[in-house]
Every structure is written in structure tokens, then in C-alpha cells.
Amino acid sequence: ELKVEQNPLFLSMQEGKNYTIYCNYSTTSDRLYWYRQDPGKSLESLFVLLSNGAVKQEGRLMASLDTKARLSTLHITAAVHDLSATYFCAVDAKLVFGAGTILRVKS
């Protein structure tokens, strides 16, 4: 059974600083997704990572995938308040989700 673990589950960030969220999964998979969810809203797709070594960047967010280590990271550069949300990673075509990481950016 595929299990997906995210950490940390809660991240209080200071504006301007850098942080990383980790996503580990238990069995081999060929795809990993990162999503953002704002309160009361559905999911917004951030990244789709389909191969080992894949790295994608959008604004202050950068995601990478190491399929050998079964690990993906979401790196936040110079956090800003607008990034406050819950971030989920999900693995496999059926999207097995991690528990989510709640990000709060403090001024």
C-alpha cells in the first residue's frame, strides 16, 4: 500500500526567509504532484514531476523529485504572505495524498 508522508505538517515562516517541505513515499511511482489549497477552496495545481531528477520552478516555489530516494521537496525562496496556504504532495495516477503542510508567513 502506497503511503505518503509530508513534513513538517505546520510551518510558520518569516517573510524573506527560505524553507523546504519534504514529501516521502513508500513505493515506486512515476509521478508526483504538488498542490496548493486555500481555506474553503479546492486544489490548485503547482507542479507535476514525472521523472527522476525533475526540477520545476514557478516564482518563489521550486519542486524537485528523486525517485530513487522516493523523495520530493518543495522549496520556498524568500517567503511572502501570499504563500500562506496548505500544500499537499500526491503520488501516483490515483493521487495518494500526503497529510498536507500548513504554511503561515509572518511579517
Partner 1 sequence: GAVVSQHPSRVICKSGTSVKIECRSLDFQATTMFWYRQFPKQSLMLMATSNEGSKATYEQGVEKDKFLINHASLTLSTLTVTSAHPEDSSFYICSAYRDRGEQYFGPGTRLTVT
Q: Point out which residues bind partner 1 (CB under 8 A).
A: 31, 33, 35, 41-45, 48, 50, 88, 90, 93-100
Return the number of the residue (17 or 41) whose C-beta is nearest partner 1.
41
Going by C-alpha positions, the residue among 85, 7, 92, 99 that lies closest to residue 42 is 85
Do 15 and 72 touch, CB atoms closer than 8 A? no
Rounded CA separation 15/46 (Å):
21
Q: How far is the CB of 46 from partner 1 (least distance, A)?
A: 12
Q: How far is the CB of 97 from partner 1 (least distance, A)?
A: 5
Return the number of the residue (31 or 77) whose C-beta is nearest partner 1.
31
Return the number of the residue (15 or 44) whose C-beta is nearest partner 1.
44
Rounded CA separation 107/55 (Å):
29
Q: How far is the CB of 27 from partner 1 (least distance, A)?
A: 16
Rounded CA separation 98/14 (Å):
24
